[in-house]
């Protein structure tokens, strides 16, 4: 009992600390001062009156949303004595594996750099800056020679690393028995059983209406769809993040989705956000990064060739180039098992004073990275809003799909969950595939790493991502795949 | 000319006996005829007839029609895929004339408001006959862009844009002498049309819509609208500054194919469902419904405008490809109507769409005489007009007075045609069992 209370006060203290530095705090303070002018605020009951004022004007709701956002994104402190690495990743062998994987990526990047004799970063001459500024809205028309660039890694390379992950304290045993895991992932992580999944995804049960199913068939709209839309409009009117997150578990109506996601991710398009985006844009204009060429190449190879996303090519550059320069993203490394690569100013190798993170946001894009942004272009058309939504999606979800960790939404757990479910439901199929050397994970891995972007029709994809937001977990990706296979096979 | 053979007599309750038909893929101008041939060959009981053999069904091309239709005797059951004078609708200069006339008629008989519903066609003048009228209009609004299109060509050939009269002076000299050609084929008659300078853009690109409308008869007017269609994107970003850049402004896939940017793998097409969802998430369902209702209006008014001039032969049906452009205010404009929309497939998805479209067309043509004639939906086709508007509601529910009329069109909506066809034909099968 006491421990819980202590934990709670610790959490509260941490959240207060975080929010104190935020824009919301300044706004609340200002609002409080302004409210003093109002006649209904009396000195004797100052605290209650101001609270009431906040409640009526909707500021309390905004605070709720901000707190909820903090709770959702940042994991609760486990133990006061735990070092910060534990927040990133508690298991040592996982940390080590992630560390060596990062070294490999960086080495690959550096060698490409040396081979092509291109600096990691350089300042653009003024003429080039002007040119880029003119072309900002149609960077897709540029056809730079990217033939010498290659993606730093592709999902299949990452899969090989995951396959070779082993817990040194765990004895797997040579002989097959009924407990043996037949799949590629051989680490003993805990994943949900089907019964736990059923409980977790209770809103997805057959008895509950779902968008994407119950509106497409002959079910009359009065039974579910109309009511669901009305409810969605109400949730938006209340501007309540937590309610929106609960609501969206049953899918979002097309017309409301953009606003709902913004509410859940607590993204609003304030003037400060626009300014921030403009600042990033000017960073792009002034400096050219090697990573930019990787981004160009990726967009040209993946999104531009997609039947539906090719139209949004220009937006992708506008988002991804700015994303690489956004140092605010570094904040997520506190709970990401990965760490941002460090680079040193020329000639000062090893001297910490001259170390910089490279790229500035610490994220090196891989083959298919731009597909995380592409589906969002269906919903958001204003570059700075699109940017914010993507950044929020990345630091909450997507980063887990390409870093090695024991988190239940991490890619390792997802792969294990997928394989376990498959082995449970279709054991004969799984065994047979294993015998002929066609492990199912080899095919499904890239789908999961991309969160199905490019592999599912957009409307289906957005419904799936609704559930990711609703349950604040990526487990739906593995479960979804498994259900698909069961249906296809059965 | 050859007379098509009579069909064999049928026995009670037995399925329709074999019918012969002639495929004319050789005469088609399309380079890839896979879709039509595949559909016809796979249709149970249909057999290809070669050369001079007798036929019951002919998917002809317009040149054959022009030369042979008048001399061909056709039995009652025979079907052919074009109306004799379809060009009243599909040739730009005739269509303009018919629409203008219809508009005047509506204004006289119903009123200005109804007539205004015909304003979906940008101001057009036939050249060289209306040259002076055109110049008058041109001078009224200086600085805007006009587009010159040949009346009879397709695939974007011969089209160019201009802003100054002197751009067309030279052209005019060349064209002036073409009038002593055959009336049927005015060789180089053009139309000058006001160019829509504010098209709706997606990803900075201009696009147009291809929608399919099947007309089974003009008198009475019976028209079906197909749920699927596609959006064709221009390969380059839209800008008014380069009028000479053919590739930007013309969205026909045929022209796009020659653009240096063109990547055949890309296809530059979206299915209309995606487009509808994109618009809905951007503008909300009400505005999108208004847009699609306005498009329904285009289809119906355009057909009504030629209803009295087209020779409505009971043997004829026609599958039209409508090209629609949407401007930034979400107003749809009619670009043109094609009597022979391309049936070549540019991608797997496209192949799917076109084979299903053709299958459903053949279901409605109904050589097998399976339909009752009361259907409002067959596969992906919804009955849009049946000598009057068709409502989504069931018969017997009086919606006329309540103002809640919802048209029976589902363009861009879910197309679960397989399921619907199964239900449709299964019920016939059981009905036949009962009656036999």
Helix, strand, coil shares of chain A as percentages rounded to 5? 60, 5, 35
DSSP of B290-311, one letter per residue?
A: HHHHHHHHHHHHHHHHHTTTS-
| pLDDT (0 to 100) of residue B250 | 59
User: Is residue B249 in some structural domain?
Assistant: yes
SS (H, E, C) A169-186: CCCCCCCCCCCCCCCCCC
pLDDT of residue A280: 95
Furthest C-alpha separation in chain A: 80
Report the C-alpha gap between A105 and A121 in whole angstroms: 17
Q: Chain B contact for A382, CB < 8 A?
A: no
Query: How far, in Å, CA of B44 to CA of A40, rounded?
Result: 82
- The secondary element (H helix, E strand) that includes residue A229 is helix A225-238
Q: What is the DSSP letter of B17?
A: P
Main-chain phi, psi angles of B40, to 5 degrees: -65, -40
Highest mean pLDDT among A152-161, B18-27, B243-252: A152-161
Q: Which residue, of B195, B210, B235, is where some domain finishes? A: B195
In terms of Cα–Cα distance, which of A75, A77, A102, A84 is closest to A339?
A102
- Asked if residue B244 belongs to a domain, the reply is yes
Q: Name the residue in chain A with its Cα closest to that of B286.
A: A255
Task: Give contacts of A141 with chain B, Cβ < 8 Å.
Answer: 236-237
Range name among A43-57, A118-132, B247-261, B403-417 with the lowest pLDDT average: B247-261
pLDDT of residue A90: 85
Same domain membership, residue B362 and residue B284: yes
Would you say B223 and B215 are in contact if contact means Cβ atoms under 8 Å apart? yes
What order do you get walking across the sheet with B57-58 strand by strand?
B46-49, B19-22, B57-58, B79-80
Q: Based on the fold, state whether residues B167 and B116 are members of the same structural domain.
A: no
Residues B134-159: b if buried by 16+ CB within 10 A, e if exposed = beebbeeeeeeebbbbbbbebebeeb
Q: Is B237–A138 a contact, with Cβ atoms under 8 angstroms apart?
A: yes
Q: Do B281 and A379 touch (CB under 8 A)?
A: yes
Say yes or no: B414 contacts chain A, CB-CB below 8 A. Answer: yes
Domain CATH for B370: 3.30.470.20
- Cβ contacts below 8 Å, chain A against chain B, sum to 56
Say whether B280 and A255 touch across the interface (CB within 8 A). Answer: yes
Give the Cα-Cα-Cα angle A27, A33, A36 (nearest 5 degrees): 140
Interface contact flag, A311 B265, Cβ < 8 Å: no
β partners of residue B48: B21
Task: State the pTM of this model.
Answer: 0.84
Co-location of B156 and B252 in the same domain: no
Predicted confidence at residue B31, as pLDDT, reads 36
- Radius of gyration for chain B, computed over Cα atoms and rounded to the nearest angstrom: 23
Q: Which residue of A254, A313, A389 to mutate against B (max B Cβ within 10 Å)?
A: A254
What is the rounded (10 degree) CA torsion for B34, B35, B37, B40? 160
B230, B212 contact by CB (below 8 A): no
Q: From the CA of B171, how many Å to the nearest CA of chain A?
A: 33
- B269 lies within 8 A of chain A by CB: yes
Same-domain status, B240 and B312: yes
User: Which of A216, A307, A457 comes nearest B267 by C-beta?
Assistant: A307
User: The tokens of B277 are what?
Assistant: 């969802």
Same domain membership, residue B334 and residue B279: yes
Do B326 and B385 share a structural domain? Answer: yes
A308–B270 CB contact, under 8 Å: yes
Nearest CA to B81 out of B51, B50, B55, B57 is that of: B57
Contact by Cβ (8 Å): A480, A447: no
CA distance A73 to A476: 18
Cβ neighbours of B203 in A, within 8 Å: 311-315, 377
Burial class (CB in 10 A: 0-12, 13-18, 19+), B433: exposed
- Return d(Cα B39, Cα B54) in angstroms, integer: 20
What burial class does residue A56 get, using C-beta atoms within 10 Å of its C-beta: 0-12 exposed, 13-18 middle, 19+ buried? Answer: exposed
Residue B384: helix, strand or coil by DSSP? strand
- Name the residue among B409, B416, B351 with its Cα closest to residue A216: B416
Domain membership flag for residue B267: yes
Is B156 in the same domain as B275? no
Q: State the nearest Cα–Cα gap between B273 and chain A, in angstroms.
A: 9
Contact assignment for A314 to B237 by CB distance below 8 Å: yes
Q: Are residues B130 and B269 in the same domain?
A: no
Looking at beta carbons, which residues of chain B come within 8 Å of A258?
A: 281
Q: List chain A residues with CB under 8 Å of B202.
A: 311
Q: Compute, in degrees rounded to 10, the torsion defined by CA atoms B373, B379, B383, B384.
A: -170
DSSP 3-state of A40 = coil
Find the closest chain A residue to B271 by CA distance. Answer: A308
Instruction: List the end-to-end C-alpha distance of chain A, in Å, as a whole number.
Output: 49
Does B221 fall in a domain? yes
- Give the whole-angstrom CA distance, residue A52 versus residue A55: 5
Instruction: State mean pLDDT over B275-284.
Output: 92
Are the beta carbons of B277 and A378 separated by less than 8 Å? yes
Q: What is the pLDDT of residue A394?
A: 96
Residue B24 inside a domain? The answer is no
Nearest CA in chain B to A302: B266
Distance CA A13, CA B59 (A): 78
The dihedral built from the CA positions of residue B199, B202, B208 and B213, taken in this order, carries a sign that is negative
Mean pLDDT across the stretch B38-61? 77
Residue among B205, B268, B277 whose CB faces A254 most closely: B277
Q: How far apart are CA B354 and CA A132, in angstroms?
A: 42
Instruction: For chain A, say whether B278 makes contact (Cβ under 8 Å).
Output: yes
Residue A188 CA to residue A170 CA, distance in Å, equals 8
Residue pair B77/B7 in contact (Cβ under 8 Å)? The answer is yes
Distance of CA B165 to the CA centre of its chain: 32
Q: What size, in residues, is chain B?
A: 436
Looking at the complex, does the CB of residue A40 fall below 8 Å from at least one CB of chain B?
Answer: no
Residue B28 lies in a domain: no
Its domain, for residue B131, covers 123-171+188-195
CB contact under 8 A, A307 and B277: no
Element (H, E) at A429: helix A427-435
Cβ atoms of A332 and A397 within 8 Å: the answer is no
**CA of B26 vs chain A CAs: smallest distance (Å):** 32
Mean pLDDT (chain B) is 78
Same domain (yes/no): B230, B93: yes
Residue B388 maps to a domain:
yes
ipTM for the predicted complex comes to 0.82
Same-domain status, B306 and B408: yes
Chain-centroid distance of CA A101 in Å reads 20
- What is the per-residue pLDDT for A177? 63
The residue among A302, A311, A380, A383 with the most chain B CBs within 10 A of its CB, best to mutate, is A311
Give the residue from A229, A255, A389, A457 with the most B CB atoms within 10 Å of its CB, the best one to mutate. A255
From the list B344, B343, B327, B346, the residue with the least C-alpha distance to B335 is B327
Shortest Cα–Cα distance, B245 to chain A (Å): 15
Output DSSP code: residue A147. T
Structure confidence at residue B27 (pLDDT) = 30
- The reply to whether B394 touches chain A by the CB within 8 Å rule is no
- Using DSSP bridges, classify how beta strands B46-49 and B19-22 pair: parallel, antiparallel or unpaired: parallel
Q: If pLDDT is split at 50, 70 and 90, which confidence band does B218 have?
A: very high
Is pLDDT at B229 greater than 60 in this prediction? yes
Query: What count of residues does chain A have?
Result: 490
Nearest-by-Cβ selection for A314 from B203, B269, B285:
B203
Q: Using a pLDDT cut of 70, give the percent of chain B over it.
A: 75
Strand partners, B324: B209, B334
The token pair at B318 is: 């026609």
β partners of residue A453: A456
Query: Contact, A445 vs A216, CB < 8 A?
Result: no
**Is the same domain home to B138 and B100?**
no
| Environment class of A395 (CB within 10 Å of its CB; exposed 0-12, middle 13-18, buried 19+) | buried
Residues B131-187 pLDDT 10s:
888 888 888 888 888 888 877 666 566 777 888 777 777 666 555 444 444 444 444
Indicate the pLDDT class of residue B331, thresholds 50, 70 and 90. Answer: very high
Distance, in Å, from the CA atom of B90 to the CA atom of A75, rounded to the nearest integer, reads: 65
> Touching check for B282 and chain A: CB below 8 Å?
yes
Give the total number of structural domains in chain B.
2
Residue B435 C-beta-side C-alpha neighbours within 13 Å = 9
User: Which are the contacts of B175, defined by CB distance < 8 A and separation ≥ 6?
Assistant: B127, B128, B188, B189, B190
Compare CB distances from A381 to B280, B282, B416 and report the shortest one's residue. B282
Detail the DSSP E strand segments found in B218-353.
222-237, 269-271, 318-326, 332-338
Amino acid B2: pLDDT:
36
Q: Which of A365, A386, A372 is nearest to A295 (CA)?
A: A365
**Regions in chain A scoring below 50 on pLDDT:** none
Domain termination site, one of B195, B210, B229: B195
Using DSSP bridges, classify how beta strands B377-378 and B381-386 pair: parallel, antiparallel or unpaired: antiparallel
Question: What local confidence, expressed as pLDDT, does residue B181 receive?
Answer: 42
> DSSP strand E in B297-434: where?
318-326, 332-338, 377-378, 381-386
Does B263 fall in a domain?
yes
How close is the nearest chain A Cα to the Cα of B72, in Å?
A: 45
Asked if B285 is an interface residue toward chain A (Cβ–Cβ < 8 A), one would say yes
Residues of chain B with C-beta less than 8 angstroms from the C-beta of A254: 277, 280-281, 285
Q: What is the per-residue pLDDT for A193?
A: 79
Tokens linked to A232:
């969605």
Half-sphere exposure of B229 (CA within 13 A, CB side): 29
Cβ distance B266 to A314 less than 8 Å, yes or no, reads: no
Q: Are residues B334 and B250 in the same domain?
A: yes
The C-alpha atoms of residue B132 and residue B125 are separated, in whole angstroms, by 10
Output the pLDDT for position B77: 80
């Amino acid at each position: 009992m006491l421990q819980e209370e202590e934990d709670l006060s610790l959490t509260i203290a941490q959240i207060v600390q975080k929010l104190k530095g935020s824009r919301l705090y300044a706004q609340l303070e200002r609002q409080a001062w302004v409210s003093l002018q109002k006649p209904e605020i009396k000195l004797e009951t100052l605290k209650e009156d101001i609270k009431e004022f906040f409640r009526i004007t909707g500021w309390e709701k905004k605070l709720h949303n901000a707190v909820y956002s903090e709770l959702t994104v940042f994991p609760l402190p486990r133990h006061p004595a735990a070092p910060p690495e534990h927040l990133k990743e508690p298991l040592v062998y996982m940390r080590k594996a992630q560390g060596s994987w990062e070294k490999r990526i960086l080495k690959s990047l550096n060698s490409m750099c040396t081979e092509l004799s291109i600096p990691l970063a350089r300042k653009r001459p003024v003429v080039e800056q002007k040119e880029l500024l003119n072309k900002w809205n149609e960077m897709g028309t540029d056809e730079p020679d990217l033939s010498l660039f290659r993606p730093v890694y592709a999902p299949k390379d990452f899969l090989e690393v995951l396959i070779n992950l082993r817990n040194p304290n765990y004895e797997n045993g040579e002989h097959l028995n009924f407990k043996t895991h037949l799949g590629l992932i051989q680490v003993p992580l805990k994943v949900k059983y089907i019964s736990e999944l059923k409980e977790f995804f209770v809103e997805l049960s057959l008895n509950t209406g779902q968008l994407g199913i119950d509106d497409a068939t002959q079910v009359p709209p009065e039974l579910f769809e109309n009511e669901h839309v009305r409810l969605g409009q109400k949730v938006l009117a209340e501007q309540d993040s937590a309610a929106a997150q609960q609501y969206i578990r049953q899918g979002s109506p097309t017309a409301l989705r953009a606003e709902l996601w913004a509410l859940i991710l607590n993204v609003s398009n304030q003037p400060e956000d626009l300014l921030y985006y403009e600042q990033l844009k000017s960073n792009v204009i002034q400096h050219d990064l090697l990573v930019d060429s990787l981004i160009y190449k990726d967009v040209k190879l993946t999104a531009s060739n997609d039947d539906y996303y090719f139209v949004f090519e220009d937006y992708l550059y506008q988002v991804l180039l700015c994303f690489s320069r956004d140092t605010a993203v570094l904040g997520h490394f506190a709970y990401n098992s990965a760490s941002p690569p460090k680079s040193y100013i020329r000639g000062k190798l090893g001297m910490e004073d001259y170390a910089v993170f490279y790229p500035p946001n610490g994220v090196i894009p891989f083959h298919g990275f731009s597909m995380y942004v592409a589906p969002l272009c269906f919903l958001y058309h204003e570059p700075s809003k699109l940017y914010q939504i993507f950044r929020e999606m990345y630091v909450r979800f997507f980063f887990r799909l390409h870093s090695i960790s024991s988190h239940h939404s991490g890619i390792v757990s997802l792969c294990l969950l997928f394989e376990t479910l498959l082995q449970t439901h279709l054991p004969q199929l799984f065994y047979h595939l294993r015998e002929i050397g066609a492990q199912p994970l080899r095919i499904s891995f890239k789908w999961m790493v991309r969160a199905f972007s490019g592999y599912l029709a957009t409307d289906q994809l957005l419904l799936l991502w609704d559930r990711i937001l609703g349950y604040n977990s990526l487990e739906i990706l593995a479960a979804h795949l498994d259900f698909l296979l069961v249906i296809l096979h059965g | 000319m050859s007379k098509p053979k009579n069909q064999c007599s049928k026995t009670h309750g037995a399925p329709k006996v074999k019918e012969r038909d002639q495929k004319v893929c050789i005469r088609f101008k399309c380079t890839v005829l896979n879709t039509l041939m595949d559909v016809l060959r796979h249709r149970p009981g249909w057999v290809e007839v070669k050369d001079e053999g007798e036929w019951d069904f002919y998917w002809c091309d317009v040149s054959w029609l022009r030369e042979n239709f008048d001399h061909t005797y056709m039995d009652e059951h025979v079907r052919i895929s074009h109306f004799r004078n379809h060009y009243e609708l599909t040739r730009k200069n005739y269509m303009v004339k018919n629409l203008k006339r219809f508009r005047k008629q509506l204004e006289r008989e119903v009123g200005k408001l109804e007539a205004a519903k015909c304003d979906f066609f940008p101001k057009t003048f036939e050249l060289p006959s209306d040259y002076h009228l055109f110049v008058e209009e041109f001078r009224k609004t200086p600085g805007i862009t006009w587009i010159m299109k040949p009346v009879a060509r397709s695939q974007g050939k011969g089209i160019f844009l201009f802003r100054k009269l002197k751009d067309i002076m030279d052209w005019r000299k060349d064209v002036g002498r073409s009038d002593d050609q055959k009336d049927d084929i005015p060789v180089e008659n053009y139309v000058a049309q006001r160019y829509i300078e504010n098209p709706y853009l997606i990803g900075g690109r201009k696009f147009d819509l291809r929608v399919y409308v099947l007309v089974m008869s003009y008198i009475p007017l019976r028209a079906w609208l197909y749920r699927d269609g596609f959006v064709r994107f221009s390969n380059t970003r839209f800008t008014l500054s380069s009028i000479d850049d053919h590739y930007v402004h013309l969205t026909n896939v045929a022209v796009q194919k020659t653009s240096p940017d063109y990547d055949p793998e890309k296809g530059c097409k979206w299915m209309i469902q995606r487009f509808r969802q994109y618009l809905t998430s951007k503008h909300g369902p009400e505005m999108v419904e208004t847009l699609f209702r306005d498009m329904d209006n285009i289809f119906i008014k355009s057909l009504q405008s030629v209803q009295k001039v087209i020779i409505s032969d009971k043997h004829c049906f026609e599958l039209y490809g409508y090209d629609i452009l949407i401007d930034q205010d979400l107003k749809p404009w009619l670009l043109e109507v094609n009597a022979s929309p391309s049936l070549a497939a540019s991608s797997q998805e496209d192949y799917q769409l076109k084979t299903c479209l053709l299958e459903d067309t053949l279901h409605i043509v109904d050589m097998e005489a399976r339909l009752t004639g009361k259907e409002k939906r067959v596969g992906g086709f919804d009955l849009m007009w049946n000598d009057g508007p068709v409502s989504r509601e069931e018969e017997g529910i009086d919606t006329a007075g309540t103002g809640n009329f919802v048209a029976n069109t589902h363009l861009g909506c879910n197309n679960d045609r397989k399921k619907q066809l199964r239900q449709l034909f299964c019920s016939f099968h059981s009905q036949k069992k009962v009656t036999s």
